[in-house]
Each structure stands twice: as C-alpha cells, then as structure tokens.
Structure 1
Amino acid sequence: MASGTTRKAITAEIWNKLEPLVRQAKHSAAGSPAMQSDRDFIEAVLWIARTGSPWRDLPAQMGHWNHVYVRFRTWERRGVWKRLWQSLQEEVFADARHLFIDSTSVRAHQHAAGAPKKGGDQALGRSRGGLTTKIHAACVDEISSVGLILSPGQSADCSNFGELFASLDKDNVLEAAALDKGYDSNAIRERLAEDGIKPVIPPKSNRKEAIPYDREIYRQRNRVERFFNRIKHFRRIATRYEKYACTFLAMVHLTAAFLYLR
C-alpha cells in the first residue's frame, strides 16, 4: 500500500455522539491501558469492514494488525459491539409504530470455512451458490435496525422469525409489522397478534382463502431492503470472511451502528 494518510470514516461530529456510548458499552476500563485510543481502534476496525481487506493488510499508521484484531475479539466476547449497537437503537425503537422484517444472503469466502467443530454452529450453509450466511433484520427504517441474527444460508426465513422476534425489546408501541410472503404462516400471524401487532403479510398463492393486508404499509417494506443495501457497502459484510458467526455478527453490529450515526 502506498504511504500517506488513510481516509477516515469517523468525523469529529460522529465521535462526539459515539464516545459516551462507547464508554457506556465497555462497562469497565479495568485492565492494561490500550495501545491506541478507542477512536483510532474503532477507525481501524471500520477500515477492515469497509475495504474487506485481510487483518494483516491493515495500514501501519492505523495500528498493529494483531493488536487491533485481538482487541476486536475481546470486545466481541464482552458484548461491547452488541451493546454499542443496542444503545443507538433503543430511543428510535421506543417510538416506532411499524416494523419491517426481511433477510439477505451473504456469500461466504472460502476462508470463512474451517472453524473447529467444537465451536458449534457457525451459521454457514451450503447452497447452489456455495457457502452462504443469512442476515435477518428487523428495522424501523433504512438506518435503524432493532433486531439482527444470523442463520445458515439455506435456512427458511419463517423458521428464524421466532428467534428474531424474541430478540426485540418487549417495551414497545408497535402497531404493525410488514414481512414478505416467505413469512406467511398461521404461527407467525398468531405470534404477532398476541402482542397486538397487525401482521402485514401478502398471502401465499396456495392459501385456500386469501388474507387481506395493508398495502400502504407493505409498500414501505423496502426500508429493510435499503438497510441491507447500505450495510453491504462495507465489503466485509457483502462477503463473509469470518470463520465464527459471533465475529461476523460483531462486524454487522458495528457497521449497523456506524450507519445510524453517519
């Protein structure tokens, strides 16, 4: 890589919003002093996420690649990335009336395979296109995701609805949830109705009786699709390189948080 300055993603305005949330998400400052500031460290991880580069190719001026990688994994194990993302979504979800749910498939690079089997399921599935992972998201709009989970690429959307819905904060004022016909099942409709949420789901063609749905709300479902389009601007999200599902989800949490702040 040519010498010189590296394009930065975190502006002063973004850091002013992010810094107190980072301190809160870390919970504790115990341990040895970090070799670089939180801002420079997060900038380095965002560079990896944005460019899709191997960790070893991190520019020297952004920190030693192994120190950044080890710290990234440490924050993942401590739940820092998830708490950081959650703290940004809490306020917007508290007032949300409509929810939009969908999934997107991510091609997994060959380097994403090979995790030790004792580590459990790594949300990698094999399909006609090779190894894939699905990101399932519940969004309020194109920048605000309030639920994020992973599954193997061949997994049906409807079979992952329960886990995604259970991950949402129960203290909400949701009135309707828009999902595509892949989620058209009596169980999903009943689960939403239990919480007083109107299901906005087009019926499948094999239903004996078509179920009417709110077409005006359903037209807004493209918000979750635009969310996926935006986070896939980060090449490490558009293609999965991480062997472990937990580290890939940590990357998704970070990019989703940054998308909200940008």
Structure 2
Amino acid sequence: METSLARDLMSDEEWAFFERFILAVRAPNGRKATNHRLVLDGIFWIARTGAPWRDLPGEFGKWSSVYRQFRRWTLAGLWEDIMDALNQSGAVPSALQMIDSTVIRAHHQAAGAKGGTPRQGFGRSRGGFTTKIHLLVNAHGLPMRTEITPGQTSDYLGFDLVMADNLPSPSVLLADRGYDADKIREGMEARNVLPVIPMRKSRKKRIGVDRSLYRLRNLIERCFNKLKNARRVATRYDKTAESFLGFIDITSIRLWIRHLST
C-alpha cells in the first residue's frame, strides 16, 4: 500500500487566510482554474523538507507546474503583501522590536544565476559560500521583515534594509553590539526610538544598557531557530535572491498564522 508523503498540510482556517491574497494577485486569462490549495501545500512541502523541486511527490501535482506557480507568486510580491498585512493588522504589539542576522551556508548548486553571485546575495565568509539573513522581529518573536545580503556583509550595513518606513515604528529596539554605530543610534533617537545596544570595546564614550530589557533579545534567536526548521531556509539551495527570500517569507507567515490561531 502506497504511503502518502503529505503531512503538515494547511488547515481550512489557514487556507482561508491565504486564499483571499491569492485571488487578489491571480490574473484572469481564461485558463482552467488551478487547485491553488494543493499547489501551496506543495510549496510548503518543499520549504519544510528542502528537497529538490523534481522530487516533489506527485500527489501535489506536476513539479514543474508547482515551481512555476511559486515563481509567479514570488515575483508578483504575494509573500511581501501578506507580511505587510500581518504587520499592519495590529494583532501583535510592535512597540518592542529586535534586530539581528544569521549566516546561512549556501549549497554549491545555488551558484550560477544571471547577474553574478553578489547580486543574488551570495558572498564569502568564514563559513564559506554564504548568505546573511537580516531579521526584524516584534515582542512576540514573530518576523516583521527579512532581507538578505552576501555573507560577509556587516550587521550595520543591513540595518537600513529591514528598518523600513512602512513598518510600525518601535518605541524600543534591541540589538547586539554588531549594531553599535553612531549612525544607527542617532537615526533611532531621531525617530524617538530607545536603542538598547551594548557598546563595542573600542567605544570611548560609555553608554548604559538596561540588561533586564536586553535579555528579551533571546526571542530573535528563538525565531531564527524556528525559521531554520524549514530546511529550505536552513541551507540555501536557490540560485535567485527572490526565491530564497520567498521561502523565508513563507516560513515567517506560517509562524504568524500558528501564533494567531493559539
């Protein structure tokens, strides 16, 4: 008897959430309607297992069709639209935010995209062929914005990428000493944001840090761990920056939905 490889499928409530966004980006072309729920479950299967697209079980449909739909939705900005809607919903407090980064090892088959490796977010660091994920989370440890850069990029250069103007502004921002730069501190203070950032040892003018508040930064470390449960995020197999960011956003959205449903 053949055993199904499909598990961790969407609930009816989760599909109802995604459906309204999918219908909003679908362009009418007179073609037969696709089973978007099955396609989306196939994309989730790839994200969770890290398997090559060609190994997608047939019960989700033809792998090439699922892949093409994933690319269409990604290039149409579907995942970013959903993340923006979640951030603007007010369902989770955003007065306290945390920022950090993590380096992801890239598989050697991820190289070779058009435009060159730096343009696609690849670089060389002590970990080898890598990509760095820059992440901003809220007080519940839920992702608000993610961006990628080459692995050797410093944290403060990735700061502006995730601190977007269209996001709810924090009252307090927690970060490690990798973000201890005058430009960052001045920018936060100009926005009436309290930066809770430990100082580098080289800083002459010492600035106090609320250690009890800073301990909450473990929430962003736990968020990275949850994101890396998706093997397509824990190791980069995608050649293009858009596809890799798409899988990060997809995993982030599912974390939001599961939190909101509890």
What TM-score, normalized by structure 1, do the two folds share?
A: 0.91
- The code of the aligned residue for 1:196 comes to N
- Residue in structure 1 matched with residue 17 of structure 2 by the alignment: 17
**8 A Cα contact 2:95 2:139, kept in partner:** no
- Residue in structure 1 matched with residue 185 of structure 2 by the alignment: 189
Percent identity over paired residues: 37
Unaligned runs of 5+ in 1: none
User: Judging changes above 3 Å, is the alpha-carbon distance between structure 1 residues 175 and 245 closer, same or farther for their aligned structure 2 residues?
Assistant: same
Does 2:210 align with 1:214? yes
- Residue in structure 1 matched with residue 250 of structure 2 by the alignment: 254
Query: Secondary structure in 2 aligned to 1:188?
Result: helix
- The code of the aligned residue for 1:201 comes to I
Among 179, 183, 188, the alignment partner of 2:175 is 179
User: Judging changes above 3 Å, is the alpha-carbon distance between structure 1 residues 64 and 81 closer, same or farther for their aligned structure 2 residues?
Assistant: same
User: Could you give the per-residue CA deviations for residues 14-33 of structure 1, whole angstroms, max 9, x where no partner exists?
Assistant: 22333334334x2x442244
Among 103, 106, 115, the alignment partner of 2:104 is 106
- The code of the aligned residue for 1:73 comes to R
User: Could you give the per-residue CA deviations for residues 79-104 of structure 1, whole angstroms, max 9, x where no partner exists?
Assistant: 11211222222224884211100011
Q: Cα RMSD between the aligned structures?
A: 2.0
Q: How does 1:84-123 map to 2 (within 5 A)?
A: 84-92=82-90, 95-117=93-115, 121-123=119-121
**8 A Cα contact 2:99 2:136, kept in partner:** yes
- Residue in structure 2 matched with residue 48 of structure 1 by the alignment: 46
Does 2:157 align with 1:152? no
User: Could you give the per-residue CA deviations for residues 27-53 of structure 1, whole angstroms, max 9, x where no partner exists?
Assistant: x44224466322111110000000000
- The code of the aligned residue for 1:156 comes to S
Does 2:49 align with 1:68? no
Shift of 1:163: 2.1
Query: Secondary structure in 1 aligned to 2:89?
Result: helix
**8 A Cα contact 2:132 2:148, kept in partner:** yes
Query: Secondary structure in 2 aligned to 1:160?
Result: helix
What TM-score, normalized by structure 2, do the two folds share?
A: 0.91
- The code of the aligned residue for 1:103 comes to S
4+ residue stretches of structure 1 with deviation over 6 A?
none
Unaligned runs of 5+ in 2: none
Shift of 1:142: 4.9
Between the aligned partners of 1:86 and 1:9, the Cα distance in structure 2 is: 24
Query: Secondary structure in 2 aligned to 1:117?
Result: coil
Name the count of aligned residue pairs.
257
